Amino acid sequence: MNADLRRATDGSARTRDGIQISYRLHGNAASPRRATLVHSVAMDRQFWQLVAERLAKDTAVMTLDCRGHGASDKPAGPYTVEQFADDIADLLSHLGWDQTLIAGASMGGMVALAFAARHPARTSALGLIDTTAWYGAEAPKNWAARADQAMKQGLQSLIEFQTTRWFGDDFRAKNPNVVQHCIDIFLKNDLPAYVEACHMLGRADLRAALPGLKMPTAVVVGEEDYAAPVAMAQALHDGIAGSTLTVLPKARHLTPLEVPDIIAAELDRLLTRAGQ
């Protein structure tokens, strides 16, 4: 592979409200094939490293740290998925990108969905991975309980809960280094920002946006995902005309880390559907 295509460069940009967002650009920045990948809650841009490397042979790939995460600023809340989506629009303007495929996993999927709804002209295609438009009527209470536990007992108290949701039993046994890497990132989170992100996900409801989405869309979910189960993916598929639905056998919630080859292939096909 040409060394230029392997290159990854880090940068940052200011959003419309003055927040600094950090990002990494993989591959040839001049490529007309462009993808933006948004991470899960309490993760950072490293979440997409394996997928980005696979796509970067012919695609310019941006990964970013959402506000409140990673190396990006961690302002006081409240946060909204729409706010996170507008941060990405500002990053695209910084890079001079008129359009991008946008894909996200879990929280990142909700942000991608909000981006596609708010900035349809800038969305060439939409990838919704291990995610939902709405976590349900009990979501505010459930996410508040998680935030409250983090505040009272620390992020360490959530590790067992998180790791069994993130990855299947077999994957955890065979890939302890990947699991530990995610744990390390999770434990580095800024606690107030994590709490705000939890409340954001509890409040988020993007169901009304689904009928208006006209761009090529792929919905992907792990068969064993009980954080955003297959039924939630099916609701996305049913709500977005022309979307595809792929259920990945034996995979759980963080499929870009469990099966990066498959996720990269799904996004490559989606780019092709978008004419890129």
The CATH code of the domain at 3-136+206-273 is 3.40.50.1820
Q: How far is CA 81 from CA 18, 29, 234, in A?
A: 17, 27, 21
pLDDT band at 262, cuts 50/70/90?
A: very high
Residue pLDDT, tens place only, 117-170: 999 999 999 999 999 999 999 999 999 999 999 999 999 999 999 999 999 999
For the chain, what are the domain ranges? 3-136+206-273
Q: What is d(CA 125, CA 35) in angstroms, rounded to the nearest whole number? A: 9
**pLDDT higher than threshold 60 for residue 21:** yes
pLDDT of residue 5: 44
pTM: predicted TM-score of the whole model, two decimal places: 0.97
The radius of gyration of the chain from alpha carbons, rounded to an integer in Å, stands at 17
**Average pLDDT, integer, range 211-240:** 98
CB 134 within 8 A of CB 204: yes
Q: Is the pLDDT of residue 1 over 70?
A: no
Q: Could you give the CA distance from residue 42 to residue 65 in angstroms, rounded to a whole number?
A: 10
DSSP-derived secondary structure letter, 27: S
Residue 2 banded pLDDT, cuts 50, 70, 90: very low
Mean per-residue pLDDT, 44-52: 98
Q: Per-residue confidence at 6, pLDDT binned at 50, 70, 90?
A: low
For the chain, the average pLDDT equals 96
